[in-house]
Chain A
Amino acid sequence: MKLTLSWLKEHLDTTADLNTIVKTLTRIGLEVEEVYNPAENLKGFITARAENVTMHPDSDHLHVLTVNTGKEKLQVVCGAPNVKEGLIGIFAPVGTNIPCYNEVLKVGKIRGVESFGMMCSEKELCVGEDHTGIIELPQDTKIGLPASEVLNIDPVIEIAITPNRAECLGVRGVARDLAAAGLGTLKSLEIEKIKGTFESPIKVKVLCQDECPTYVGRYIKNVDNTRQTPKWMKDRLTAIGLRSISPLVDVTNYINYDLARPLHVFDADKIKGDITVRMCKENEHFVALDEKEYDLDTLSLGICDDEGIECLGGIMGGLSKGCSADTKNVFLECALFKPQCIARTGRKFAIESDSRYRSERWVDPKSNVLGSDYATQLITEICGGEVSEVMIEGDENAAPQVAYIRPSRMKTFVGMEVAQEKIIEILSRLGFKTSVEGDKIKAVSPSWRGDIECEQDLIEEVVRMIGLDEIEPQSMPHDQFPKQVLTPAQQRVVTVKHELALRGMYETVTWSFTSSKLADVFHKSNQTDVVLIANPISADLDEMRPSLLPNLLMGAKNNIAHGYANMSIFEVGPEFYGRHPKEETNVATGIRVGLTSDKDWSKTSRPFDVFDAKADALATIAAAKGPIDNPQITLDAPAYYHPGRSGTIRLGKNVLAYFGELHPSVLKKFGLKTRVVAFEVYLDNIPLPRATHDKSKKKLELSAFQPVVKDLAFVVDENVSAAAVLAAAKNADRNLITEVRLFDLYEGENLPQGKKSLAISVVFQPNEQTFTDKDIENLMNKVIVNVNKNTGGELRA
Chain B
Amino acid sequence: MEDIKDIEQRILEEVSKASDLKALDEIRVSAMGKKGEITEMMKTLGQMSADERIETAKKLNLLKSAVEEALSKRKDILENEALNAKLACEKIDVTLPCRPETQGRIHPVSKIYEEVAAIFGELGFEVAEGPSIEDQFHNFNALNMPLNHPARQMQDTFYIAHDKDKPFEMDDAYVVRTHTSGMQIRTMENKKPPIRIIAPGRTYRSDFDATHTPMFHQVEGLVIDKTTTLAHLKGCLYDFVKAFFELDDIPVRYRPSYFPFTEPSAEMDIGCLKTKTELKIGAGNDWLEILGCGMVHPNVLKAGGIDPDEYQGFAFGVGLDRLAMLKYGIPDLRTFFESDVRWMKNYGFAPLDFSSLTGGLSNNGGQLR
Contact = CB atoms under 8 A, between A and B. Distances in A.
Contact of B295 (A361, A413, A600, A605): A413
B264 A482 contact: no
A448 to B, nearest CB: 16
Interface of A: 26-29, 31, 162-165, 339-340, 343-344, 347, 360-361, 412-416, 454, 456-457, 459-460, 463-464, 468-469, 471-478, 480, 482-487, 490, 494, 497-498, 500-513, 529, 531-538, 541, 544, 551-552, 554-556, 558-559, 562, 564, 567-569, 572-574, 576, 579-584, 596-598, 600-602, 604-605
A344 B117 CA distance: 41
A557 to B, nearest CB: 10
25 contacts: A29-B256, A163-B154, A343-B150, A344-B147, A347-B148, A415-B230, A454-B298, A456-B297, A460-B263, A468-B234, A468-B256, A469-B253, A474-B235, A477-B232, A478-B123, A484-B121, A485-B121, A485-B126, A497-B107, A498-B106, A501-B105, A507-B344, A509-B107, A597-B100, A600-B100
B238 A486 contact: no
Given A502-B351, A512-B204, 15 more contacts: A29-B256, A163-B154, A361-B150, A475-B236, A478-B124, A485-B125, A494-B113, A497-B110, A501-B103, A534-B159, A541-B214, A558-B338, A568-B104, A574-B132, A580-B174
B206 interface: yes
A569 B105 CA distance: 9
Contacts of A576: 132-133
Given A31-B257, A463-B230, A502-B351, A596 B100 contact: yes
Contacts, number: 286
Given A498-B351, A509-B109, A473 B231 contact: yes
A519 to B, nearest CB: 14
B158 interface: yes
A468 B266 contact: yes
B131 A347 contact: no
Contacts of A457: 263
B126 A483 contact: yes
Interface stretch (B17-25, B41-49, B160-168, B278-286): B160-168
Given A469-B254, A504-B101, A535 B159 contact: yes
B278 to A, nearest CB: 23
Contacts of B254: 468-469
B12 interface: no
A777 B338 CA distance: 61
Nearest to A506: B344
Nearest to A479: B124
Contacts of A498: 106, 351-352, 354
Contact of B133 (A538, A572, A580): A580
B258 A165 contact: yes
Interface in B246-271: 253-258, 260, 263-267
B239 interface: yes
Given A413-B230, A468-B266, A559-B341, A584 B109 contact: no
B263 A507 contact: no
Given A533-B161, A537-B206, A476 B336 contact: no
Contacts of A598: 100
B263 A456 contact: yes
A531 B232 contact: no
B104 A509 contact: no
A162 B150 CA distance: 10
A511 B341 contact: no
Nearest to A576: B133
B114 interface: yes
Interface residues of B, number: 99
B339 A162 contact: no
Residue among B105, B123, B163 having the largest count of chain A Cβ atoms under 10 Å: B105
A662 B236 CA distance: 49
Contacts of B106: 497-498, 501, 507
Contacts of A556: 339
A456 B168 contact: no
A506 B345 contact: yes
B256 A533 contact: no
Nearest to B170: A534
B96 interface: yes
A710 B353 CA distance: 44
B15 interface: no
A414 B263 contact: no
B68 interface: no
Contacts of A584: 131-133
A168 B9 CA distance: 120
A527 B364 CA distance: 42
A279 to B, nearest CB: 16
A460 B256 contact: yes
Contact of B132 (A165, A469, A512): A512
Given A28-B256, A558-B340, A579 B133 contact: yes
Nearest to B239: A475
A413 B159 contact: no
A687 B293 CA distance: 37
A614 to B, nearest CB: 18
B100 A464 contact: no
Given A474-B234, A582-B131, A485 B148 contact: no
A626 to B, nearest CB: 20
Contacts of B266: 468
B148 A26 contact: no
Residue among B127, B255, B258, B260 having the largest count of chain A Cβ atoms under 10 Å: B255
Given A27-B255, A473-B238, A511-B215, A601 B231 contact: no
A494 B351 CA distance: 11
Interface in B132-169: 132-135, 138, 147-151, 153-154, 158-163, 168
A564 B342 contact: yes
Given A473-B235, A544-B160, A582-B131, A507 B102 contact: no
A126 B235 CA distance: 46
